[in-house]
Structure 1
């Protein structure tokens, strides 16, 4: 990205409001993760480690309880209920490209994303992987298989260093049976997933590519965007093929539209990245096609 580019955030637009809240949540969660896992930037330790059991005092459990409560399906639980679950949780860490689970694997565990990001893929008719979803902090993975006990319906792979809370089905199922708030939370996750899939299917049928692509870029910027320069443009790191999979078109079509927006100064393209220089223009494109 050009060093002098300063697109800035949209002060009065929806993206600007969402962006501020997103950054605040991510920052708070990062601090919690560091305290819970014992991660030390000062010593240059690359992989976070759990503190030894003998150091697990009240602060440890308070921090870990907050992390568990940040996962959507457990956000309405009381402290005592969260503490019950904490006894059964473990923290799983993945490096970039590590596979969390593969399609067809037994669905015995539920995962709550604490940090990082993962892609959800399936195999297309041509035998190649097709990405149809991204998961970030606070989201849940494995909610379908954990309920019906069937095989995993997709492959999930870490895109970056990622940490997850893990709950096994044998502990979670009886907990759901005796804690209606958690069961309702899980039902809410399933409902949101169905609504999301329905919205995407509707978009593919009724919204032209420019609208779908603008909508997806804004969503990705909110969830996974980075801002290398303070108050500068938001950068999304993603290959154009993955972006094409998410909006339901070809890489060539996505590239053509992005090049057109680059000529207008709306975005800037690089190797496996898109910089949103004028997110307000993308909001205008999306609004045009949503009317």
Structure 2
């Protein structure tokens, strides 16, 4: 499996994968298939049948929903998943349909652990359900934090915290391991994530840029001073 082995350094930079017992690590690698997606290509859609567990090893996956219909339909971007994040575990647990859409925000490489193979492996190694539950618990904690921030924090702090969270791969990477400095996110996507207008987002970003915190480029944001960004979160 030379192609999969080449992605091991990236996978091991992630907190969840790095802490797995060796037999679960090897089991995931043995079951995994490499998938490549072009920018805008669909991975799965809301209400689709469970298809397994995924790890992002290159590029960015956009998780989103929609409101409205026809010409009035609007995409609601929830998260942009970058390496070394794993996702898709909810449907592994309950066997129910996908809750949201997943598309490649840019050219992506993923590791895909098929649903039926993973269930069969876990049936033979049931102790590792807890390890998979840790991944889901991490997502639940982040969801609760995000809900609280939407309620109590002003927009500049929400935006700063979202950028920092994305830089740290939603808690799966640490500053000492791997911090993203260039985030593949647009101003419109950021606005949708934190629930403010694009104009407000633009004003906040211009203020951060003027203070040397970041630089806004077409289709991405470069973080110049992580310590200053962290200060904006308080």
Q: 1:94 aligns with which of 37, 62, 66?
A: 37
Structure with the largest fraction of strand: 2
Partner of 1:202: 148
Q: Provide structure 1 residue ranges, at least 5 long, that are not aligned to the other structure.
A: 1-34, 38-59, 225-233
Distance, in Å, in 2 between the alignment partners of 1:123 and 1:266 is 32
The equivalent residue for 1:186 is 132
In the TM superposition, what is the alpha-carbon distance from 1:127 to its structure 2 partner?
1.9
The equivalent of 1:116 in structure 2 is 59
Q: Structure 2, unaligned stretches of length 5 or more?
A: 171-180
How much has 1:75 moved relative to structure 2? 4.4
Moved over 6 A (4+): none
Contact kept, 8 Å, 2:17 with 2:25, in 1: the verdict is no
RMSD: 2.9
1:241 paired to 2:188:
yes
Shift of 1:76: 1.6
Separation in 2, partners of 1:242, 1:108: 26
Residue 231 of structure 2 aligns to a residue in which SS? Answer: helix
Moved more, 82-91 or 178-187: 82-91
CA shift digits 1:111-142 (9 cap, x unpaired): 12222211101002452111101212232221
Whether the 8 Å contact between 1:112 and 1:139 is mirrored in structure 2 is: yes
Return the offset for 1:192: 0.7
Report if aligned partners of 1:214, 1:286 keep a CA contact under 8 Å in 2: yes
TM-score, reference length from structure 2: 0.81
- Residue matched to 2:116: 170
Alignment partner, residue 146 of structure 1: 92
Name the SS for the 1:282 alignment partner: helix
Deviations 1:166-210 (A, max 9, x none): 222221113223324531111001111110000000111111111
Rg larger in 1 or in 2?
1
The question of whether the paired residues in 1 share the 8 Å contact of 2:36 and 2:110 is answered with: yes
